[in-house]
Amino acid sequence: MRRLFPIRRKRPYAVPPARYRLRRNSGALARDAAFALLSLLAVAGAASLWIYCYAHLMSLPFLAVREVVARGCQELQERDVLALAGVPRGVNLLAVDLTETAARVKRNPWVREAYVGREYPDRLVVEIRERRPVALFKRGEELYLLDEEGTAFKRLEGRDNRDLPVLTGLAGEGPEREALMKKTLSLLGVLSRQGTFPDIASVSEIHADPRQGFLIFTNRGYGLQVGLDDFEVKLRELPTVLADLTRRNLRTGFLLIDLSEPGKITVQRRDITTPPAGSDERARYKT
Distance CA 265, CA 263 (A): 6
CA separation for the pair 117, 156 (Å, rounded): 32
Task: Domain of residue 89: give its range.
Answer: 61-130
Q: What are phi and psi of 34, to 5 degrees?
A: -65, -40
User: Is residue 20 in a domain?
Assistant: no
CATH number for 79? 3.10.20.310
Same domain, yes or no, for 151 and 189? yes
Residue 138 included in any domain: yes
pLDDT of 50 reads 60
d(CA 281, CA 286): 14
Is residue 262 in a domain? yes
Q: How far apart are CA 110 and CA 194, in angstroms?
A: 25
- Rounded CA-CA distance 96/98 in Å is 6
In the chain, the DSSP E strands lie at 67-71, 111-119, 123-130, 133-139, 142-147, 152-155, 166-168, 203-209, 213-218, 222-227, 254-258, 266-270
| Same domain flag for 166 and 264 | yes
- On whether both 265 and 245 belong to a single domain, the answer is yes
Looking at the structure, tell me whether residues 235 and 138 fall in a common domain.
Answer: yes
Task: Count up the domains in the chain and report the number.
Answer: 2
121 within domain boundaries:
yes
Say yes or no: 144 and 211 in one domain.
yes
Alpha-carbon distances of 136 from 21, 153, 161, 245, rounded to whole Å = 89, 10, 12, 31
Peptide bond into 165 cis (omega under 30): no
pLDDT, position 71: 95
Query: Do 156 and 211 share a domain, yes or no?
Result: yes
Residue 25: per-residue pLDDT: 63
Each residue's pLDDT expressed in tens, for the chain with a length of 287 residues: 555 555 555 555 555 555 555 555 666 777 777 777 777 777 767 776 666 565 555 556 667 889 999 999 999 999 999 999 999 888 888 889 999 999 999 999 999 999 999 998 889 999 999 999 999 988 878 899 999 898 999 999 877 767 899 999 887 788 888 899 999 999 999 999 888 889 988 999 999 999 899 999 998 889 999 999 999 999 999 999 999 888 888 777 788 999 998 888 999 887 654 554 434 443 333 33
pTM: 0.69
Instruction: Give the largest Cα separation in the chain, rounded.
Output: 153
DSSP summary character for residue 43: H
Same structural domain, 141 and 265? yes
Q: Is residue 74 part of a domain?
A: yes
- Compute the Cα dihedral for 253, 245, 216, 265 and give only its sign: positive
| 13 belongs to a structural domain | no
The answer on 249 and 143 residing in a single domain is: yes
Task: Return the exposure string of 44-74: e unless at least 16 CB atoms fall within 10 Å of the residue's CB, then b.
Answer: eeeeeeeeeeeeeeeeeeebebeebebebbe
In whole angstroms, give the CA distance from residue 205 to residue 169: 11
Helix axes 98-105, 78-85, angle to 10 degrees: 130
What pLDDT does residue 1 have?
52
- The whole-angstrom separation of Cα 98 and Cα 280 is 47
